[in-house]
Structures are given as structure tokens and as C-alpha cells.
Amino acid sequence: MAAITFLEAIKQAMFEEMAADPSVVLIGEDVGVYGGAFKTSEGLLEKFGWERVIDTPISESAIIGAACGMSYLGLRPIVEMQFIDFIVCAFNQITNFVAKGHYLWNAPAPMVIRGPSGGGVHGGPFHSANPEMYFVHTPGLKVVYPSTPYDAKGLLKASIRDNNPVLFFEHKFLYRRLKEEIPAGDYTVPLGKAVVRREGKHLTILSYAAMMHTSLEAARALAREGIEAEVIDLRTLLPLDEETILQSVRKTNKCLVVHEDTKTGGIAGEIAALLCEKAFQELDGPVLRVTSLDTPVPYAPTLEAAFLPNAQKVFTTAKELARY
Amino acid sequence: MPAIESRRKAELSREQYLDLYYYMRLNREVEETMTRLFRQNKIVGGLYSSLGQEAISVGTAYALEKRDWLAPMIRNIGALLVKGVPPRDIFTQHMAKYTSPTKGRDGTSHFGDLENLHIVSPISMLGDLIPVMTGVAIGGRYLGQKIVTMTWIGDGGSSTGVFHEGLNFAASQRAPFVLILENNLWAYSTPVQRQVPLENLADRAKAYGIASYIVDGNDVVEVYTTAKEAVERARAGKGPILIEAKTFRRRGHAQHDPAEYIPKEQREFWEKRDPIALYEAFLVKEKLLDAKGKKEMEEKLTSLLEKEREFAVNSPMPPEETVYGGVYCTGDGCHKIRPKWERPIAEVMPPKSSVEPVWTVEGFGRGKNSSGKNAPIHFGDVPQEQKTQETQERSAKKSDKKPAAKSAKKAGR
């Protein structure tokens, strides 16, 4: 057992899958010689050669289109978006071509589109995005957003082996700030399964990615005031693990959703609707949400801090909810 | 056209000449059958005609081998027929029948076959197939298959962003990929002169440093022989090729469009250049086809299409409950595509995989400052001076990058 960073977990997952399966290739901007803008693919070119680690021009649509074409031959491409913000440059290719193929003409496209996402690192409006919900709205895709090195490795491996297109978001704030001991051998974490990070009985906090850690921090503060929050890490947003969510809310009867994505159209709204449909009788209070503001991600540290959720905001809202 | 007839004649066998004729006739008859079905309200959605463009679909697809891959656009029914799609699939697709390749989930030429015929389905957004077929091409090369991929685009679609991204990427990869640009002079109601300030759309190839050809799209022999040359060139690893086929869209954008915006003189000019009539005259003159042979072929077509039409008309619509399922590929039997390796796998696995590229770009990859695990990241925890240095290295590296593909233009034959 060795403690590794989130970044190292991503690299290990790609390295091990490429070593085990010649159908796995990596394609993206600066992924080869440079080793990726964040060094997540460092050393892969040297090990696997230029045919399997493909540096491309700055053409997100072409990269994703080409990966889709490769998948039609039984290959399993991993696509790196240098920053996940740029995934929208390939929006049409993903939502119309890649996502619809299996339903329409029985064409599976096993591919992973992964990249660094999220704010809190002063990347500004075009290097801090959380664009997951554009894609959660697209049937045919899977959307994964891990919060720990263990999960990052296990979920990325499972995503590469999955027979569907998977969008894999890596919160860059976590890349080097987290270390975790992970098992030496091969393991996967199943897609579509949430996990209870902290058990509690007074209310449920649902979160994912960097905000999972913020939620845990708030839960510790709540505990000091006698409020035991159950914190659930969603891990996969599409398909959503309804069972784990409902099980927890049926126990605590209260639910707060925390995400770094902006408020309107975020997953919290979808979860609120789900709870209204399937657990309305068991709710003792409103489903509340702590999210980023409905603005672009601002650049100045003062503005970004105001934009993002934090443990204090989660704590305050959770206390409010606990009063019901 | 007449100038090339005698030269081209020697290159084709009698069977090939008659094949081209058969598929062009089949293409037209299939579409005329569908026009009648449309007028009988048996076609659920739109109907798009390739009347007058049959020589392009047929001549280009006929240049491909069985192992090769194609992806049609809306006016490439002929290419599908050449590749082996039965007419019933095209009828049932248009009629949204449960027996159609997509079981009524999509219409027109929007269907494919990954396992046997090697056809990728198009989508309505133009240009997307260019990077996708580039991906098939480089994937095939990686697996050691000697395949070539082909798709089509119109004069209209050649202005999309993904056309440029895709063709540039194909060029940078020297992908075994052939793109047929059907310049039919009209993008819906907009004439080509209002879309692109170029005399020849083949000139777009110059921007990517790839080879291009210009052909008379109404001369099936010229289309075929040029496409054949392009396909073999691509197969030999010489990079992608753009073929501009000059032609004319004789019907509207779709059945509902009377195309009154088209000048009368232009229409009359092209009506006289019907690719099937021209080719038939050539075949008769060269004694490759006589009245008896023509009659036999027509009888064969009529009987085939009647049977195929009957099948489609009598097929059921998809039952409502089939709307569910298939959004995801789930279960063991879902993903049947296994990579077909035609080279030793050891070549792509360590230690052998750490080979040098087969072509290199001078200066690329040099001056790399690999600081291994301690490499900085761009945001959050990087000291300012380190960040600046890194940015400079990156921009220096990018300016070193040059497309490797050679320019080998061969236009204006």
C-alpha cells in the first residue's frame, strides 16, 4: 500500500489499462511528448509509443470524432481534454454522434473523455468549468466525477472497460492536494454506485468531487453542534444511484445537495424532483441546495470565493434544514 | 468527357463497365420508387434526391474494396447499394418500418453496419463524419489492417468547422482517408458562389497540404478511375485525398422544395448532361451494351425493386414498446466488435511499443524539461516564475510543430 495523489491515480489507471489491453489508446492535445498539461500522461509515450499516445492539433471535435471512429474497430480510446472547459467545442460530436449511436444503429462507442475540471484554483472563466450537466441531459452518455484517489483510479479503469461513452471529470483542485493509500493490485469501482462517506441520522448531504470534501468538513462542524449529517458521494451522475439516495433520505428525512456546478439546471434540481416523486411522504423539510452562483466563474480570488460554495455555507444551510 | 473515353476504356473490364451502369440505374430506380412512395404518403419524413449525381456515389464507392469503410451522406444511396446494402433497407428506413436496419429509430441513409459491410451511419450535422472516418482510418492502420475510409461532403458542408478540423487532423496523421466533395452548386437555396469565394473547392486541400483532384461528377468512368487512384494512393500511406466532383443538384434540397431559385439556363444545361444517359451512349458506342442487354438489365431491376418494395410496404411499424432499450450497451452480448489484429500485438505492447514514430517533425519533442513527479501544474500551487517559464516552453514547442504531410496537388485534369 502506497499513498498516491489523485493525479497519480489517473496516471496509474491509464498506464495499467494500456499495459493490459492493446486496444486502449490515448489521444489529445500535448498528451505525448509533453505528458499532458497536468502531467497525467507523463511517461506513457515513452512506454507505449507514438501509435498509442497520439498528440493532436487543437481540434476538439476532430479528436472526439476520431476517437469515436477508432472505437468502431473495437479499440478503446481515452480522450484527454486539456481542460474540460474545451469539451464544449466538441458538443455536437459528443451529443449527436457519440451518444446516439447505440440507440439508433446499434453502434457501441466504448471511449472515455476525461479532463481536468472545476474551480478554486483561479483558472478564470474558461479554465474552471463544471460542464457535467450539459451531458447528464444526454441519454447514451455516462458521467463520472470522483472525489478520491482510490475512486479516481478504480472508476477510470471501470470507465475504460465500459462499453459506452463515459465522460470522466477530474477536479483539478484535488489533483495534488489529496493523498490516499490504495491497493497495489488491479481493482475497479463500479459506475453508477454512490457511496456513504459518513453515516448520520439527522440529515443527508449529497455531493461529489471537490465539494464532497467541503461537505465532510461541514459535517464535522455540524457534529460538534450535535447534528449528525450523513454524507453521500454520488461519484457517478449518470446513471444516478437512486437507490442509495432514497435509502439515506428515507432514514434522515432531510436532504441537502451540495455541488460546485452552478445552481440552475444543476443536479440538485434533478435530485429534488426525484425525491418529490419517490420520497415525498418521507420528507420532513424542503430539499435545499448549496451551489455556485448563477454566474460565469470569476477570476479574482475574492470573487471566486464568493462564487463557490464553502464549508460555512454548507454548515449554515444544513443547520437551517435540521430545524425542520 | 470525350477526351478521356478511349484512355479509360482499357483500364476497366467489360464486367466493371456494366457494373457501373447497373448500380447507377439501380440508384436511380430506387430513388424513383421512393418518389412514388412519397407521393403515396408512404414515406414518413423527408426524401432527398441524388438525381443527376449517381455517377459520384457509384463511381467512388466502386473504387473501394470489401474491407474498406464508407460513411454515406444523404445523397449517397448509390454508395450504399454498391457496398452491398439491399434496396429493401433503404425503403424500410424511409418508411420507418420495424424491419429497417434501425428498426424505425432513424430514417433515410442514417444506418450502418460495423461488422460486415463496414458502413458508418451519418448524422444530419454536416462534416462530423470527416473526423470519425479519419479515426476509423488511423484505427485500422494501428491494427495493421490495410483499409481505406471514404466519406462525402457537399459544397455546403465544406464550410463547417468540423470539415476543417477533420481534414487537417487527417492530414496531420497522414490517414488513409478519401473525401469526396460533391459540388452540386447549391446548399439548399444558397448558390456555391455565395458560400465560398473559390472557383474550385478542391483548392481547400492546399490549406492542409494534401493532394486533390477535380473530376467531372457526371462522368462515371472519370469518377471511378480517379477515385481508384486516390484509394490506392491513400492505401499506400501517402495521406488523405480530396476529390472535388463537379455536378448539379437537379431536384430541390428535399421533396418539399420546388427549387424555384435555380436559374432556368443552369437547369437546362445540366439536364442535358445526365450521367446515366451520357454513360449509356458511351457503352452503346463502345459496343459494351446493346438493346437486348439493356432490356435484360431493366427487367432484372424491375423485378428486384418490386420485390423489395413489397417487402417494405408490407412490413409493420415498430411496436410502441420498442421505444425503450438500447440507449446503453449493456450485457455481455452487447459489444461484439473485437479488434481484428493484422499485425503482431507485441509491436504495440511494451517493450516493443516504445518505438520511434515512422515520420518525425524536426525539433518536435526536444528541449523537454521533464521534472517527473515534481512537475508543476498550471494553476493553484505553482510559483509565478515557474509558471512563466513553463508557458514559454509550451509556446516555443508549439511553434516548432509543423504539418508533416507533403503537398502533392494534382488538380484540373
The residue from A127, A171, A213, A259 that is catalytic is A127
Strand partners, B216: B246
**A75 touching B (Cβ < 8 Å):** yes
List the end-to-end C-alpha distance of chain A, in Å, as a whole number. Answer: 44
* CA–CA gap between residue A24 and residue A54 (Å, rounded): 12
**A191 touching B (Cβ < 8 Å):** no
CB atoms A69 and B128 under 8 Å = no
pLDDT at position A88 is 97
- What is the residue extent of each domain of chain A? 2-182, 195-322
- What is the residue extent of each domain of chain B? 2-323, 356-400
Q: Distance, in angstroms, between B177 CA and closest chain A CA?
A: 12
Q: Which of A202, A131, A204 is nearest to A171 (CA)?
A: A131
Report the residue from A61, A140, A164 with minimal CB separation from B165.
A61
Q: Which of B408, B403, B322, B317 is nearest to B364 (CA)?
A: B403
Range from B180-194, B220-234, B391-405 carrying the lowest mean pLDDT: B391-405
CB atoms B348 and A56 under 8 Å = no
Percent of chain A as helix, strand, coil, to the nearest 5: 40, 20, 40
Torsion-angle region of residue A106: left (phi > 0), alpha (psi -120 to 50) or beta? left
Residue pLDDT, tens place only, A57-91: 999 999 999 999 999 999 999 999 999 999 999 99
pLDDT at position B359 is 54
Orientation of helix A242-252 relative to helix A267-279, angle to 10°: 70
Locate the chain B residue with the closest alpha carbon to A83: B378
What is the average per-residue pLDDT within B285-292? 96
Distances (CA, A) of B237 to A23, A127, B139, B145, B174: 22, 38, 14, 12, 7
Q: Beta strand pairing status for B177-183 and B186-187?
A: unpaired
**A105 touching B (Cβ < 8 Å):** yes
Could you give the angle at the alpha carbon of A201 between the alpha carbons of A199 and A207, nearest 5°? 55
In this structure, what are the phi and psi dihedrals at residue B244, rounded to the nearest 5 degrees? Answer: -90, 120
Chain B residue numbers with beta carbons less than 8 Å from the beta carbon of A143 are none
Q: What single DSSP character describes residue B173?
A: H
pLDDT > 70: percent of chain B: 83
**A101 touching B (Cβ < 8 Å):** yes
Q: Which of B136, B70, B135 is nearest to A61 (CA)?
A: B135
Which residues 139-158 of chain A have a CB within 8 Å of chain B? Answer: 139-140, 142
A127 in catalytic set: yes
Q: How many CB pairs under 8 A join A and B?
A: 220
Class of domain A195-322: alpha beta
Chain B residue numbers with beta carbons less than 8 Å from the beta carbon of A105 are 101-102, 105-106, 110-112, 121
Q: How confident is the model at residue B378 (pLDDT cuts 50, 70, 90)?
A: very low
pTM as predicted: 0.91
CATH superfamily to which B2-323 belongs: Thiamin diphosphate (ThDP)-binding fold, Pyr/PP domains (3.40.50.970)
Q: What is the ipTM of this complex?
A: 0.96
Report the residue from B102, B139, B379 with minimal CB separation from A70.
B139
Sorted by sequence, the CB contacts under 8 Å of residue B410 that are 6+ apart come out as B211, B212, B213
pLDDT > 90: percent of chain B: 80
Q: Distance, in angstroms, between A22 CA and closest chain B CA?
A: 7
Locate the chain A residue with the closest alpha carbon to B163: A62
Identical fold at A2-182 and A195-322? yes
* CA–CA gap between residue B86 and residue A201 (Å, rounded): 63
Q: Distance, in angstroms, between A233 CA and closest chain B CA?
A: 24
Residue pLDDT, tens place only, B96-150: 999 999 999 999 999 999 999 999 999 999 999 999 999 999 999 999 999 999 9
Class of domain A2-182: alpha beta
What is the average per-residue pLDDT within B289-302? 97
Quote the cell numbers at residue B51. Answer: 438525381
* CA–CA gap between residue B253 and residue B408 (Å, rounded): 34
* CA–CA gap between residue B392 and residue A273 (Å, rounded): 49
* CA–CA gap between residue A233 and residue A36 (Å, rounded): 28
What is the average per-residue pLDDT within A133-151? 98
Sorted by sequence, the CB contacts under 8 Å of residue B374 that are 6+ apart come out as none
